[in-house]
Chains A and B, each alone.
Chain A
C-alpha cells in the first residue's frame, strides 16, 4: 500500500525555473524523506525532515513539512536538465519501514 499521494503527477519546466512538488500522507509520522529515481534505476535519498521540523535546506533543495495538514513540499531551485527524474516522498510512521508516495515525474528542458 502507499501512504501518500504526490502532486502533480508530472511537471515540465525549463532550465533555470523552480520546481515544486507536493506530498500528502495519511498517518502520524516520525520523519518524511524525499528520494530521486532516474529512469530504470534505484532510488537515491535526497533529504530527511523530522516531524518536529518545519523547513530544511540542502543545496538547491528546500523541504517544508506541515504535520497539521499532513503535507510536505519539495522545492528545487534553478533547475537543471540533470534534475530530470521521478521524485518520491516517503514516510516513517514508526513501523521501521518507509512507505512511498506515487511520485512526481519531473522533466527539465534545456
Chain B
C-alpha cells in the first residue's frame, strides 16, 4: 500500500484557466476528503465522499469548484476560471470508515496551486 497520492504536486496557472487535481486514496478506504490550506493556516474542509456519493460540501466550495469520485476510487477536484485567491495547497485524505469509528485521516502530500 503506497498511501494517498496526489497529482500534480505543483501547478502554476494563469488567472481564468481551469485546473484539475487528482487524488488516489488508500485502496479500500471508502471515505475521501478534500481540504484547502493557505499559508500559515490550518486545513479547511471542502468536501467529502463515501464511495462515489458526495455527502457534504462546504460553503467554501463555490460553483467554480467541482469534485467527483466516479467509481468510488480516485477523485478529482476541478477549479474553473481560477482566481488569485484560489492559490493554496489542496490536500486529499482518506479513511476506511467513519471518523467516529476509526479516527484518523490519512493525508496525501498535497497539490500546491499558484494562480498568477
Which one of A1, A35, A44, A96 contacts B44 once the chains associate, using CB atoms below 8 Å?
A1
Question: When the two chains form the complex, which single residue of B42, B56, B110 contacts A42, counting CB atoms closer than 8 Å?
Answer: B110
- Please determine whether A98 and B45 come into contact, CB atoms closer than 8 angstroms: yes
Interface assignment of A43: CB less than 8 Å from any CB of chain B: yes
Among A40, A97, A103, point to the contact of B99 (Cβ < 8 A): A97
Complex Cα gap A101–B107 (Å): 16
The total of Cβ contacts below 8 Å across the A-B interface reads 71
Interface residues of A in 28-65 (CB under 8 A from B): 30-31, 33, 35, 40-45, 48
A44 close to B107 (CB less than 8 A): yes
A2 at the B interface (CB under 8 A): yes
B103 in contact (CB, < 8 A): yes
* CB neighbours of B107 from chain A (8 A): 35, 42-44
Given contacts A42-B109, A43-B107, contact A98 B99 (CB under 8 A): yes
B2 contacts partner chain A, Cβ-Cβ < 8 Å:
no
Q: How far is the CB of B107 from chain A (nearest CB, A)?
A: 4
Tell me how many residues of A have a C-beta within 8 Å of chain B: 25
Taking a contact as CB atoms closer than 8 A, the residue among A2, A30, A45, A97 that contacts B104 in the complex is: A45
Contact in complex: B112, A40 (CB < 8 Å) = yes
Q: Which chain B residues in 76-116 approach chain A with CB under 8 Å?
A: 89, 91, 93, 98-100, 103-110, 112
Q: Report if A30-B109 is in contact (Cβ < 8 Å); known contacts: A96-B55, A97-B33, A100-B44.
A: no
Residues of B within 8 Å of A41, CB to CB, are: 109-110
Residues of A within 8 A of B (CB): 1-2, 30-31, 33, 35, 40-45, 48, 88, 92, 94-103
Cross-chain pairs A/B with CB under 8 angstroms, 28 sampled: A1-B58, A2-B41, A2-B42, A31-B99, A33-B103, A33-B104, A40-B89, A40-B110, A42-B4, A42-B91, A42-B108, A43-B43, A43-B107, A44-B107, A45-B104, A45-B105, A45-B106, A48-B103, A88-B42, A92-B103, A96-B98, A97-B45, A97-B48, A98-B105, A100-B35, A100-B42, A100-B44, A103-B42
